[in-house]
Structure 1
Amino acid sequence: MKNYFILKNLCRKIYLAGAGDFWFEEGEISQGKSLRYRLLCFIVFSTYISMTLLEIIGVFFGAMPNDERSDCTSFAVSHTIVLCKMFSVIVNRKRVKELNRKLVEICKDHEDEHRVAENYRIMKINVVAYAVSVYGSFVFFLFDGVRKMMTGSHFITIVTYWPFYDDNSAIAVTFRLFTTGVLGVMLATMICIDSFAIITLIMYKYKFITLRYYLQGLREQFDKNNHAGNEEYATDQLHSGFIEGIVMHSHLISLSKDIDRSVGAVLALQVCLSSGSAVSLVLQLALSKDMTVAAQLKIILFVVALYFLLALFLCNAGEITYQASLLSDSIFYCGWHASSMRRDLRQLVLFSCAAAQRPIVMKAFNMLELTYGTFIQVVRGTYSVVALISAQNESTPE
């Protein structure tokens, strides 16, 4: 039941972050449909949307220096995609609840305590590392804002259309501090949503590992029971266990569709965010000749956070494909050929092996394959675009 508590604890954090109740057991996390909580969620997301709209307006109509315009553009694009990611999960709340139920129930009777503990350790490392990378970038944005204030400018992290660049009134300063706080809270909500997608992928991967060890255990148990006078019992145990394994396999295959419907948009939008925003940020870093060390560090850490999350998504999705591909051998060598019912099981084994030899490939929007190769392609594509534009800029006479 470790997976039950992992998912429930995560859903509780998502609830506290203001994204709603995603747990499949009614009343376990939220005590009914609270009007006060709904009002709080409305205020929180209205603030997120308002801040993002001010950033978008600032990109087109704001009068500001080039460095602040670059920050405004980066934040406008990033926050728009982040909001789309959040709403894609919130809109599919019922599907997410059903996904949580299936993640808890499938294979739960055959999960090994040590493997579940290892699963939890990997989840924790992934989520903590991602949170550290995000807030590490946020700290350097704060540091750069303080540096600007110390050099005679004004403190700023989020660049919006208003306050205007030369407005240093008390109201303007207060609003800049307010948007900084809003950014900190928004990052917490974003991390919770992204962490749900990460944990879903890791947990799904370990479901295939659990099934593989279960099928291998059938052969070991059959060899142990298959002795003179006990052949019928050993065969019956193998037959019933194999049927149960095939049912679990079919449930796992269908679960990929539930994951795509629930968090597929989050994975696809992250590919767009990491590739698009990273290009603009790296170009800003490469083409600017008078950028301070603090400004360079905030951009570098921002890019690291974008690519780190993309790597977590795509590499864990790629690992699902790999683990699913290993099931074919486990099915074939489960011991069916040594049983007295081998003729009855042969057809079922052949169909099961054929199904396992078409390994699951996680996709976003049923188009973009989420694999190790996709991550490499995104990184290479970003590098190629940045290298091309940088070369053109260097060859253009001033």
Structure 2
Amino acid sequence: MQSLKSLLGIQKTATKEVYTFKPNTTVSLFYNICALVFLGCGTNFMFDDLKLPRKVVQICRLVSRVFGLFVLMLMFSACGAFFTQHNLDMMRKAQLWLYGPTSLTLYAMYLNSVIRKEKIKRLGYTIAVVLREMSTDTEIEKEMVKKTWRFSYAFAFLVNGLFFCTGIVTGYVATTTNETFTTVVPAWPDLNDHTTAASIARIAHYCVWYIFLVRVGSIYFIILAITIGLQFQYGIMCNYFHSLNSIFDGDGTHEEKEQKYEDAFKFGVKMHSLTLWCIDQTQVTCGVAFSSQFITNLLTLIALMVQFVFMERTFGNCLNVFLFAGVTLTGTGIFMWNAGDVTYEATKLHTAMFHSGWHNCQGQASLRVRKLLTIAMQRAQDRVTIKGFGILELSYDSYISMVKFAYSVFSVLY
């Protein structure tokens, strides 16, 4: 581990690891993402100190602790409702399953990320600094930044839309009928309790639910930045190996060009090895998140389908269900689509190695390069995957299969 830290440029002090780096486009992206995450959950996942006023940092951390306590109370209340709320109709039972178990799986994802914060910092540093210093491509980096923010904006829009739509629809129902303003089914008060204290408690549950969404949703941005960064890293490596052909167009003797090509190819192999290390670390640091998201997606979709069957199909109710489904499917898609793109982009690397210009070498240099090329291509042909539960490969195909599986379970039950 010490040799790896030396390779990455990490220095250990008495209190923390210190990372040395020069700013670049990917570093700026990670910094902005981590700054937003810090404001959302009070945890810094950036490998550098955030350039925020000290007073703001202190307030955010204090508020985060208080909000964390509120979120835990909300989760206990949502799970306790299974034991205190009786005589619920099918619509409310589905709502009970929609918020109770899923809150546990989602918060497990959040806690796992906080526990593995230092590993996530090291992983982000390797992607944004070490690999970018080895080789980069301005156009590819720009496209990476655009894609990351597109997914981030879309997910943030859906989450906020879900929160406000749920409040508006539930509030409208509460004011026009005898129903109570109930979003998250709580352990207390009873659903038929119309007292002032009960109404205040339900509004508090609704507000804390937003805090829960913000804290958990923040982790999605970190995982999104990591997986998209790895995806475009393979594009950068492919460009790097393609560019090695130009070595033989430069000045100098053929022997000098052969030696330069061989050294450059070995450097590319080293970059590939470091990228594979990042893939392994992504599995280690984000594996719980991938697995938790799968369980959450399954439970949520089944509960939403049950709700849709038994609810009154007004515009507001349908919009609320569709938004909830959209947030769930998009949240799962953030993981599975981009993890699948990593697998797809990795399949192009061995072809790029083959077209790197090895055929220009002659004699002993050709023999050495061909042996190196064979080993490197064989390694590059190994399937690169990110998995949930250690067995479920995250990809477009598995995403479709998971949605179909949720519908199959619903069909069997109802």
TM over 0.5: yes
Q: Post-superposition shift, 1:367?
A: 2.1
1:86 maps to a residue whose letter is Y
Deviation at 1:94, TM superposition (A): 1.2
Aligned to 1:159: 185
1:174 Cα deviation from its structure 2 partner: 1.9
Where in structure 2 are there 5+ consecutive unaligned residues? Answer: 1-23
1:325 alignment partner in structure 2: 347
Runs of at least 4 residues off by over 6 Å: none
Identity percentage over the alignment? 19
Amino acid at match of 2:228: I
Work out whether residues 336 and 342 of structure 1, in 8 Å CA contact, stay in contact via their aligned partners in 2.
Answer: yes
Could you say what secondary structure the match of 1:17 adopts? helix
Q: Does 1:300 align with 2:325?
A: no
Q: From 381, 385, 408, give the equivalent of 1:384.
A: 408
Mapped contact 1:198–1:313 kept (Cα < 8 A): yes
Q: Name the CA shift for 1:22/1:265 in 2 (closer, same or farther; >3 Å).
A: same
Establish whether residue 175 from structure 1 lines up as the match of residue 197 from structure 2. no
Q: Distance in 2 between matches of 1:158 and 1:255?
A: 39
Q: Kindly state the Cα deviation for residue 208 of structure 1 after the two structures are TM-superposed.
A: 0.7
- Asked if structure 1 preserves the Cα contact closer than 8 Å seen for 2:353 and 2:373, the reply is yes
- The AA in structure 2 aligned to 1:169 is T
Question: Residue 71 of structure 1: CA displacement?
Answer: 1.8
What residue in structure 2 maps to residue 366 of structure 1? 390
| Structure 1 counterpart of 2:249 | 224
Q: Which amino acid aligns with 1:111?
A: T
Pairwise mapping of residues 182-197 of structure 1 onto structure 2 (< 5 A)?
182-197=208-223
**Residues 230-275 of structure 1: CA distance to partner in whole angstroms, max 9, x if unpaired?**
3133223212211110100000011111111211211111111111
Cα distance in 2, alignment partners of residues 272 and 380 from structure 1:
14
Distance 2:53 2:413 in 1: 51
Match of 2:336 among 314, 321, 324: 314
Q: How does 1:92-103 map to 2 (within 5 A)?
A: 92-103=116-127
Secondary structure, counterpart of 1:166 in structure 2: coil
Q: Structure 1 residues 289 and 73, CA, compared in 2 at 3 Å: closer, same or farther? A: closer
Which residue matches 2:21? none
Q: CA deviation at 1:344?
A: 1.6
Change (3 A) 1:123 1:184: same
Question: Following the alignment from structure 2 to structure 1, what is the Cα–Cα distance between the partners of residues 230 and 52?
Answer: 23
Aligned residues: 386
Tell me the CA shift for residue 389 of structure 1.
3.3
Of 56, 72, 82, which aligns to 2:106?
82
What are the superposed Cα offsets for residues 318-349 of structure 1, whole Å, 9 maximum, x if unpaired? Answer: 11111111111111221122123211211111
Output the amino acid matched with 2:275.
L
Amino acid at match of 2:108: C
Q: Aligned pair in 2 of structure 1 residues 96, 230: CA closer, same or farther (>3 Å)?
A: same
Whole-angstrom CA distance in 2 between matches of 1:86 and 1:171:
31
Residues 41, 214 of structure 2: 8 Å contact kept: no
Q: 1:119 aligns with which of 144, 153, 173?
A: 144
- Alignment correspondent of 2:235: 209
Larger CA deviation: 98-107 vs 35-44: 35-44
Tell me the equivalent position of 2:169. Answer: 144
Aligned with residue 305 of structure 2, among 267, 271, 282: 282
Report the AA paired with residue 133 of structure 1. L
1:302-332 CA distance string (max 9 Å, x none): 1121112212211111111111111111112
CA-atom RMSD, angstroms?
Answer: 2.2
Indicate if the aligned counterparts of 2:346 and 2:380 stay in contact, CA closer than 8 A: yes
The question of whether the paired residues in 2 share the 8 Å contact of 1:106 and 1:248 is answered with no
Distance 1:36 1:64 in 2: 44
Match of 1:254 in 2: 277
Residue 26 (structure 1) shift: 4.6
Letter aligned with residue 26 of structure 2: N
**2:146 and 2:116 mapped to 1: Cα distance?**
28
- Residues of 1 paired with 2:49 and 2:157: CA distance? 32
| TM-superposed deviation, 1:61 | 1.8
Deviations 1:60-97 (A, max 9, x none): 32146423343232111221111111101001111111
Pair 31,347 (structure 1): closer, same or farther in 2 beyond 3 Å: farther
AA in 2 matched with 1:383: Y
**1:58 corresponding residue in structure 2:** 81
The 3-state SS of whatever aligns with 2:390 is coil
TM-score (norm 1): 0.91
Residue 261 of structure 1 aligns to a residue whose secondary structure is: helix
* Aligned twin of 1:270: 293
C-alpha spacing 1:183/1:112, structure 2 compared with 1 (3 Å): same
CA distance in 1, matches of 2:402, 2:50: 42
Q: Is the counterpart of residue 7 in structure 1 residue 25 in structure 2?
A: no
Whole-Å Cα distance in 2 between the matches of residues 154 and 27 of structure 1? 43
The 8 Å contact of residues 386 and 393 in structure 2, kept in 1 or not, is answered as: yes
Native 8 Å contact 1:285 1:296 kept in 2 = yes
Select the residue among 314, 328, 335 that pairs with 2:357.
335
Of 230, 243, 260, the residue aligned with 1:237 is 260
What is the aligned partner in structure 2 of residue 135 from structure 1?
A: 160
Aligned-pair distance for 1:291? 4.3
Amino acid at match of 2:264: G
Distance of aligned partners of 1:358 and 1:30 in 2 relative to their CA distance in 1, 3 Å threshold: farther
Contact kept? 2:37, 2:44, Cα under 8 Å: yes
In 1, Cα distance between equivalents of 2:58 and 2:349? 48
Amino acid across the alignment from 1:7: F
Most deviating of 107-116 and 317-326: 107-116
**Amino acid paired to 1:211:** M
Alpha-carbon separation, structure 1, partners of 2:64 and 2:168: 30
